[in-house]
Amino acid sequence: MSLAIQIRQNGGPEELQLVEVQVGDPAAGEIRVRHHAIGLNYIDVYQRTGLYPFPMPLQLGMEAAGVVEAVGEGVTHLKVGDRVAYASNPPGSYSTERVMPARCVCRLPDAIGFETGAAMMLKGLTAQYLLKKTLPVQGLQRGDAVLFHAAAGGVGLIACQWARALGLELIATAGSDAKCQLALANGAAHAINYSTEDFAARVKEITQGQGVKVVYDSVGKDTWEKSLDCLRPFGLMASFGNASGPVPPFAPASLGGRGSLYVTRQTLFTHISTRESTQAMADELFAVVESGQVKIHIAQRYALADVQQAHRDLEARKTTGSTILTVD
């Protein structure tokens, strides 16, 4: 038996209920894993509210770290007893134990603890593909300016540090002065409090009228329009989330007038669709974390049973960095 958090219908945090579920043996291509720590992500909110629909009942959670307890037929990269971490579909990591596809599960280097593993896989692999694989036409070179919204959050703090390691001039936005300070302390070159400042005007000022090569926008509805105004000609709008609500339909012609802009909507799950690509991305993530260039900030911890409060705090913009759910 496993303890797990399920929802029976879409709705608020009160729908998150602790239940006992049966956990069987892994089928071909699967493993059974016992979790030591679980990662909280904004995508869990979208799945809870129904913005990203799933059949019910739904066991939430896309990220965790733990130990392999059983291995199904055909799984060759993992064995019983391995310390592992993952970001993976289908949801289900809000649990003490689960059976899941082995494809996206990676062995955790000895130097990386379970809590760090659970706090960094989904967010860190996202930062990896955004900065290394989601490139404007001219590519990204050292010294290039990029804009990163919600930079003091889970993905954000990792991206700030990784961008500094890559020599990028990352302009951060965040919703309070304290969060701006945090982004600066983690490698952002500039920080804008977008609750009180016109971020498009400030970006133009910082870049001396040029604009940035890429905007990384996970805020969505509230930042979309002004973000387009921050781009230089041929710049790339990389939309990857909707914390303030989904981006409304827009006229492609508006991209022409702003300088032949590119727009992409990215999701991690395309990037980690194969074992090989997942492992290659994870190896890069493990390397920057082990080198100390990227530190994983676990700023909040909640017991699995207190997940309702964790969701409330995340949605109320009270969290910074990564949040984990503990199971011990």
Residues that bind ligand NAP (CB under 6 A): 41-43, 122-123, 126, 150, 152-156, 174-175, 179, 218-219, 222, 240-241, 243-244, 266-268, 314-315, 317, 319
Nearer to ligand NAP, 96 or 218 (CB): 218
Give me the helices (H) in the chain, please: 42-49, 114-132, 154-165, 177-185, 199-206, 224-228, 253-257, 268-271, 275-290, 307-315
Cβ of residue 276: shortest distance to ligand NAP, in angstroms? 19
Is the separation of the CB atoms in 90 and 26 below 8 Å?
no
Cβ of residue 290: shortest distance to ligand NAP, in angstroms? 21
Report the alpha-carbon distance of residue 163 to residue 289 in Å, rounded: 13
Cβ of residue 87: shortest distance to ligand NAP, in angstroms? 8
Cβ of residue 70: shortest distance to ligand NAP, in angstroms? 29
Nearer to ligand NAP, 15 or 63 (CB): 63
Is the separation of the CB atoms in 227 and 149 below 8 Å?
yes
Cβ of residue 292: shortest distance to ligand NAP, in angstroms? 21
Cβ-closest position to ligand NAP: 153
Nearer to ligand NAP, 23 or 106 (CB): 106
Nearer to ligand NAP, 26 or 153 (CB): 153
Nearest to 71, CA basis, from 19, 111, 113, 30? 30
Is the separation of the CB atoms in 77 and 104 below 8 Å?
no
Residue 68, beta-bridge partner list: 33
Distances from the Cα of 52 to the Cαs of 34, 85, 91, 155, 209, in angstroms? 27, 24, 12, 19, 38
Nearer to ligand NAP, 95 or 322 (CB): 322
Nearer to ligand NAP, 136 or 220 (CB): 220
Token pair in block for residue 225 = 């329009």
Nearest to 215, CA basis, from 179, 259, 245? 259
Cβ of residue 110: shortest distance to ligand NAP, in angstroms? 26
Which residue shows structure tokens 């993905």?
155
